[in-house]
């Protein structure tokens, strides 16, 4: 059984390829290398000893997508990561996000709808909830108008999949990630942010290693215990494992609906200061940071209800925040050595 992983050389994609190979799947990766490098393949092989098939391809080229599915006729399981994902960039360049994140999804689904059956796992995000009313956030929490075009492409993507699954043989699972962090325990693969990191944890580890002068803490006047914003930071390996379980669910025809939705988080909220303190504990270094104003578009608090993923998927995050921060720090030290 070949499984297509789009964006399979990216941060979450590469960790998911490893877990798929560990479960005996043969993996075909599509990646356009816009936010990754081919060296990630070496890291995957170093962990599993198996080299996935890699096709450098831009999913915005419809003909290339059609040719791919002609070449790989037996491709009916797809995990779709390939997308642009920088919230701030999406505000400045919305059309890049609508073209890259929406048209590529449409071209993929147009190919899959021609198959007798297809299993489709979609990389979505808790950002579709905006600032949810109630914590922890369940899958029934209302989807709100996301603040960024990036978040809107995830909301629209979910709607496109739902409409398509209704009238085709495509079965889908939408996985709404909270905040993915960390790296593989072998430090063979990890997060490779290009330029100045937008996300908290890579900025922390780059500050810790001396690449950045200091971390700006975006606001300490939120209505939270210590005034800094709260998120649910989930280890990328926990997240990757959930993708394999979700795919297997569809392949085994265990799904109860044509489209199912799961929140993927630890169920624990951590503030920015708590993440900083976790870093200081695992690295035994003092982090230089400065309290600044709030970042435009940020929400106060988000952490997942894990009930549905636990009870239906039988999945639970295992890594703690400290373990995730330790893996992120070890990765930063490795890539800068
Ligand atoms: C986390 C917290 C910041 C940087 C986004 C997307 C989400 C997903 C993860 C893609 C916030 C604070 C951050 C910094 C800081 N992306 N922070 N200083 O915004 O929760 O989620 O990234 O899939 O879809 O929405 O993550 O890591 O940017 O921020 O104080 O230099 O850290 O204000 O409270 P976010 P983040």
Q: Which among 69, 148, 130, 95 has a CA at the least distance from the CA of 300?
A: 130
Q: Which region among 8-12, 167-171, 194-198, 218-222 has the lowest average model confidence (pLDDT)?
A: 194-198
Instruction: Give the nearest ligand 1 atom to 295 CA.
Output: 33
**Residues 250-303 pLDDT 10s:** 999 999 999 999 999 999 999 999 999 999 999 999 999 999 999 988 999 999
DSSP letter at 304 equals: B
Q: From the CA of 39, how far away is ligand 1's center (Å)?
A: 27
Of 97, 107, 150, 222, catalytic: 150
| Residues 119, 160 contacting (CB under 8 angstroms) | no
Interatomic CA distance for residues 308 and 121, integer angstroms: 17
Write out the two tokens for 221. Answer: 């006047």
- Angstrom distance (rounded) from CA 248 to CA 19: 12
Query: With 90 as the cut, is the pLDDT of residue 147 above it?
Result: no
Task: Report how far ligand 1's centroid is from the alpha carbon of 65 (Å).
Answer: 32
SS3 279: helix
Residue nearest to atom 16 of ligand 1 (CA): 85
For ligand 1, atom 28, the nearest C-alpha belongs to 199
Phi, psi of 70 (to 5 degrees): -75, -35
Q: Whose CA is nearest to atom 9 of ligand 1?
A: 179
Examine the residue annotation and report whether 150 is marked as an active-site residue of this protein.
Answer: yes
Q: Residue 307's CB: how many other CB atoms inside 10 A?
A: 13
- 2-180+234-264: CATH number: 3.40.50.720
Q: Indicate the domain borders of the chain.
A: 2-180+234-264, 200-231+267-336
- Name the closest-CA residue to atom 36, ligand 1: 199
- Collect all residues with Cβ–Cβ distance below 8 Å to 154 and sequence separation of at least 6: 101, 124, 125, 127, 128, 146
Task: Report whether CATH 3.20.10.10 matches the domain 200-231+267-336.
Answer: no
pLDDT digits (tens, 9 = 90+) for 58-97: 999 999 999 999 999 988 799 999 999 988 899 999 999 9
- Does the C-beta of 218 come closer than 6 Å to ligand 1? yes
* Fold agreement between 2-180+234-264 and 200-231+267-336: no
């Amino acid at each position: 059984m070949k499984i297509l992983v789009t964006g399979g050389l990216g941060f979450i994609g590469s960790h998911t390829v490893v877990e798929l190979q560990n479960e005996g799947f043969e993996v075909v990766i599509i990646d356009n290398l816009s936010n990754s490098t081919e060296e990630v393949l070496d890291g995957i092989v170093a962990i599993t000893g198996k080299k996935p098939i890699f096709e450098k391809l831009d999913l915005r080229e419809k003909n290339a997508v059609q040719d791919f599915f002609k070449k790989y006729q037996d491709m009916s399981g797809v995990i779709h990561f390939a997308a642009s994902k920088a919230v701030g960039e999406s505000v400045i360049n919305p059309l890049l996000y609508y073209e890259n994140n929406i048209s590529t999804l449409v071209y993929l689904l147009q190919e899959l709808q021609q198959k007798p059956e297809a299993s489709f796992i979609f990389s979505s995000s808790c950002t579709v909830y905006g600032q949810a009313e109630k914590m922890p956030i369940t899958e029934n929490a209302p989807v709100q108008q996301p603040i960024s075009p990036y978040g809107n492409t995830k909301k629209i993507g979910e709607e496109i999949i739902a409409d398509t699954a209704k009238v085709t043989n495509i079965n889908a699972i939408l996985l709404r990630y909270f905040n993915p962090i960390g790296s593989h325990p072998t430090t063979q693969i990890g997060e490779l942010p290009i330029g100045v990191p937008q996300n908290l944890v890579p900025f922390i580890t780059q500050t810790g290693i001396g690449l950045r002068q200091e971390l700006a803490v975006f606001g300490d006047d939120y209505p939270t215990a210590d005034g800094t914003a709260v998120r649910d930071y989930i280890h990328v390996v926990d997240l990757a494992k959930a993708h394999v379980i979700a795919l297997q669910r569809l392949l085994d025809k265990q799904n109860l609906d044509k489209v199912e939705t799961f929140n993927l988080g630890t169920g624990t909220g951590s503030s920015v200061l708590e993440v900083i303190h976790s870093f200081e504990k695992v690295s035994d270094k003092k982090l230089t940071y400065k309290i600044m104003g709030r970042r435009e578009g940020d929400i106060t608090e988000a952490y997942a209800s894990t009930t549905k993923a636990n009870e239906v998927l039988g999945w639970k995050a295992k890594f703690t925040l400290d373990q995730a921060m330790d893996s992120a720090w070890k990765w930063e030290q490795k890539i800068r050595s």
